[in-house]
Structure 1
Amino acid sequence: MDFINKQLLFYGVDQAYVHYLSVTIMITSILLLCVIANFITKKIVIRLITHIVNNNKYKWDNILLERKVFHRLSHIVPAIIIYYFASTFPAYQQAIEKFSIAYIIIIMLVVVNSLLNAIQDIYQSFEVSKARPIKGYIQVAKIIIFILGSILVIANLLGESPIILLSGFGALSAVLMLVFKDSILGLVAGVQLSTNDMVRVGDWIEMPKYGANGDVIDISLNTVKIQNFDKTITTIPSYALISDSFINWRGMQASGGRRIKRSLYIDATSINFCTQNEIEKFKTIHYISDYIESREQEINEYNWKNNFDRSNSVNGRALTNIGVFRAYIHHYLYNHSDIRNDMTLLVRQLEPSESGVPLEIYAFTNTVEWGRYESIQSDIFDHLFAVAPEFGIRLFQKPTGNDLKSIALPITINEDNVEKE
């Protein structure tokens, strides 16, 4: 400043205008220097860094570049220049230094925010990120850093020690606990979900309470986002996955087999002992021909050994059409190319009800893909519905309007005849 004053006086500038003119020149010079420094930083240094990043074998530094960590770091240079020249203006030196430091702290917070985002992106490029997501921890780190940064900015502007402000932070803890209640609950839930490996990105989970049934697409500090099968998005609080129950289908997907658990309802009035003609007919069925022969021999030996009078079908043991049908279903599924034999395979009879006798099929397909699974299940039951009458089995079905109409029609005709007579 003294040098500029002397030069202005040397060139004959009026003493009354020297001070104002020198201040203007100094401010203009500082601003010009900031612009030049920012230009050099962005156009030369950043370009050089970009060139180095794009021409090496590492991928993580490309993410730092995409998140503009280096670009935002370049904004500190003008603030450092202004801080350095603050002593040029003694009357405003303290204020300039405070605002320069505050600006530098804010820029550093922005840089750290971008750096944390880059760390999250780098981590998500690894397979372990699906099993151990860190998004919640990143968000907690951001909250802590921004709180500390805000305290530093305020302390700098007030000219007080940050420790004094932190000492009063305890008084606000109750308020902060209330304000950040969901975040704190989410943090605890996130730790439990991650530690116990309860849910991962990509898992198919079902939570009827929240209308969620689909794939997990994001796990954050406060929420878990689920894309339902109708492409809608359901957002669930993270702590709800700890406090409430949910179904995770990951085990099914990992096993490679998806369960079929469905019943055929048999009309109880169609169940009977098999006649000899029916037994001979069943022997011609490919899947159960050996079964029928072995069972028939076993039953005949048992009845002969115990001297049962078979003139009455109640005496001794005999084959039933529902038993033969059950055996057929089991052998049919066992030989089905889309059913896994190394997993549970059952055909069992459940407790009869007003809807008939349930014959439940419990098996696993060799695929977990939804469309293929439904196709396999439908093909199996299409076949069983069609083949049931071959065993003398009627499937239960509640009366429909056509059934009642067919019963009422003869009655109406008879009533008309009576009236005519």
Structure 2
Amino acid sequence: IVAFALILGVAYLANVICHHILLKLIVKLAQKTKATWDDIVFDPKVMVHLARIAAPILIYILIPIIFSDVPRTLCLIQRICQIAIVVSFICFVNALFIAIYQVYTSKEEYRNRPLKGLLQTLQVILFLVGGILVISILIGKSPLILFTGLGASAAIMMLIFKDSIMGFVSGIQLSANNMLQVGDWIAMPKYNADGIVIEVTLNTVKVKNWDNSITTIPPYAFISDSFQNWRGMQESGGRRVKRSINIDMRSVKFCTPEMIAKYRKIHILKDYIEKTEEVIDEYNERNNIDNSVLVNGRRQTNLGVFRAYLTDFIKNYPDVNHNLMYMIRHLHPTEKGLPVELYFFTNTTNWILYESVQADIFDHVLAIISEFDLNVFQDPIGTDFRNLANNIDRIHKNTTQISSTKDTKSI
């Protein structure tokens, strides 16, 4: 017993020396070097697990001196030491993986890569190997026998770890093709996901939706199903606006000389009006057009001038990204009127600023439409029906009064 206590004391002393002397010395030496790899390997959180191996190794070596004549006790203690060595080494490798993961995720070029899935895959393999080694020590068999048995039960293992295997393969595809990164704004209607990717792991992709709810999606769904990634929009430096205003087609007409004179006073339209009028007058004169009939020759319309105004307005608007496409176009006429679509990109991808720019532009557009003698098409509302009813009542009353007056005079 005294000898066994002495061995335990030596093992404890070795553990203290490794933790408080050797470990600190190695960490200080690693910090003085210019290389970065040694800072990862010799990190205190990593080396502490390696330092724990010293005690069970000493006990494993020295214990046969005492229990050489008691083979069962010797075998039991040695197996416990072997298990402690394996567990400590597995913890050391796991801590090393975590340290490497933390270093690479701190770098800008790797920050948005789905490295956590790769880390979890390596941890699963590591713990699986560690578990097999521990079991082989307990049963006193070679680990190769257990590995051979795993080969025979591969179908069962694949069934058990199906999601992990599919997640690992999907993670590699997502990373290799740069399809998904942490921080991407994605939309996946099938899973009611519309928000920012906050985590990519071996089995799940977490998406924080705009309503602050969290949606978890299996990684292989991003390979088998379609999803929309808005990263391209964010990297382009502009977000698209594609919105139309319905014009009442009954308000579209040819421009009169008075209207042309009015439009010439609009600063951004002055050059357009003069150039267009020159082209039209030259065409009409060359073809001997009879201007007394409006359908003859070429004429400007209030809608055409309005489109020209919007084009120049968007061209000169400071919050529009002029490096990307912008245009004003007609869409197919419907029973709701003629849609005039504004298609452009803002120079910001920030959602709040984007909505503000879009609202400011359409506030202006709606306010100046009447200056071009155009009407916005709008379905009648309750006030319209009430005004119509009041007008009908007033007409009916006037008609009744006139009838009464005529009857009185006739009498």
User: Cα distance, 1:417 vs. partner?
Assistant: 8.3
Equivalents in 2 of 1:64, 1:253: separation in Å?
37
Equivalents in 2 of 1:78, 1:393: separation in Å?
90
2:86 matched to 1:109?
no
Q: Judging changes above 3 Å, is the alpha-carbon distance between structure 1 residues 57 and 230 closer, same or farther for their aligned structure 2 residues?
A: farther
Aligned to 1:25: 2
Q: Residue deviations 1:144-170, cap 9 Å, x none?
A: 222122111111221111121111112
Aligned to 1:244: 225
Out of 310, 317, 340, the residue aligned to residue 291 of structure 2 is 310
2:134 matched to 1:153?
yes
**Does the 8 Å CA contact 2:27/2:44 hold for their aligned counterparts?**
no
2:181 matched to 1:200?
yes
Aligned residues: 398
2:387 matched to 1:406?
yes
Moved more, 65-74 or 319-328: 65-74
Any idea what SS the aligned residue of 2:153 has? Answer: helix
**Does the 8 Å CA contact 1:67/1:114 hold for their aligned counterparts?**
no
Q: Residue deviations 1:328-364, cap 9 Å, x none?
A: 0001111111222222111000001122111111111
Q: Judging changes above 3 Å, is the alpha-carbon distance between structure 1 residues 217 and 396 closer, same or farther for their aligned structure 2 residues?
A: same
Equivalents in 1 of 2:42, 2:210: separation in Å?
36
Q: Which amino acid aligns with 1:30?
A: I
User: Cα distance, 1:226 vs. partner?
Assistant: 2.4
Equivalents in 2 of 1:322, 1:383: separation in Å?
16
User: Cα distance, 1:125 vs. partner?
Assistant: 2.0
Out of 194, 197, 209, the residue aligned to residue 228 of structure 1 is 209
Q: Residue deviations 1:34-66, cap 9 Å, x none?
A: 322222222222333344455566666555566
Equivalents in 1 of 2:317, 2:394: separation in Å?
51
2:280 matched to 1:320?
no
The 5-angstrom pairing of residues 20-419 of structure 1 reads 24-53=1-30, 68-87=45-64, 88-90=66-68, 91=70, 92-130=73-111, 132-412=113-393
Aligned to 2:408: none
Q: TM-score, normalised by structure 1?
A: 0.88
Q: Which amino acid aligns with 1:249?
A: W
Aligned to 1:3: none
**Does the 8 Å CA contact 1:63/1:121 hold for their aligned counterparts?**
no
Q: Which amino acid aligns with 2:60?
A: Y
**Does the 8 Å CA contact 1:346/1:361 hold for their aligned counterparts?**
yes
Equivalents in 1 of 2:54, 2:103: separation in Å?
27
**Does the 8 Å CA contact 2:121/2:202 hold for their aligned counterparts?**
yes
Moved more, 32-41 or 398-407: 32-41
Equivalents in 2 of 1:410, 1:344: separation in Å?
48
Q: Residue deviations 1:89-132, cap 9 Å, x none?
A: 23211121112111211111111111111111111122221464
User: Cα distance, 1:228 vs. partner?
Assistant: 2.9
Moved more, 397-406 or 232-241: 232-241
Equivalents in 1 of 2:183, 2:357: separation in Å?
25
**Does the 8 Å CA contact 2:319/2:346 hold for their aligned counterparts?**
yes
Gaps of 5+ in 2: 405-411
**Does the 8 Å CA contact 1:288/1:328 hold for their aligned counterparts?**
yes
Q: Which amino acid aligns with 2:320?
A: I
Aligned to 1:6: none
Q: Which amino acid aligns with 2:169?
A: V
Q: Residue deviations 1:216-258, cap 9 Å, x none?
A: 2222222222233344333221111111111212222222122
Equivalents in 2 of 1:418, 1:389: separation in Å?
34
Q: Which amino acid aligns with 1:71?
A: V
Equivalents in 1 of 2:269, 2:400: separation in Å?
57
Instruction: Give percent identity, aligned residues only.
Output: 46
Q: Judging changes above 3 Å, is the alpha-carbon distance between structure 1 residues 131 and 93 closer, same or farther for their aligned structure 2 residues?
A: same
Q: Judging changes above 3 Å, is the alpha-carbon distance between structure 1 residues 235 and 419 closer, same or farther for their aligned structure 2 residues?
A: same
User: Cα distance, 1:202 vs. partner?
Assistant: 2.3
Q: Judging changes above 3 Å, is the alpha-carbon distance between structure 1 residues 217 and 66 closer, same or farther for their aligned structure 2 residues?
A: farther
**RMSD (Å), alpha carbons:** 2.3
Gaps of 5+ in 1: 1-23
**Does the 8 Å CA contact 2:205/2:216 hold for their aligned counterparts?**
yes
Q: Which amino acid aligns with 2:67?
A: F
Moved more, 206-215 or 240-249: 206-215
Moved more, 65-74 or 141-150: 65-74
User: Cα distance, 1:214 vs. partner?
Assistant: 2.5
Moved more, 168-177 or 44-53: 44-53
**Does the 8 Å CA contact 1:303/1:317 hold for their aligned counterparts?**
yes
Any idea what SS the aligned residue of 1:363 has? Answer: strand
Any idea what SS the aligned residue of 1:378 has? Answer: helix
Q: TM-score, normalised by structure 2?
A: 0.90
Q: Judging changes above 3 Å, is the alpha-carbon distance between structure 1 residues 369 and 63 closer, same or farther for their aligned structure 2 residues?
A: farther
Equivalents in 1 of 2:18, 2:90: separation in Å?
19
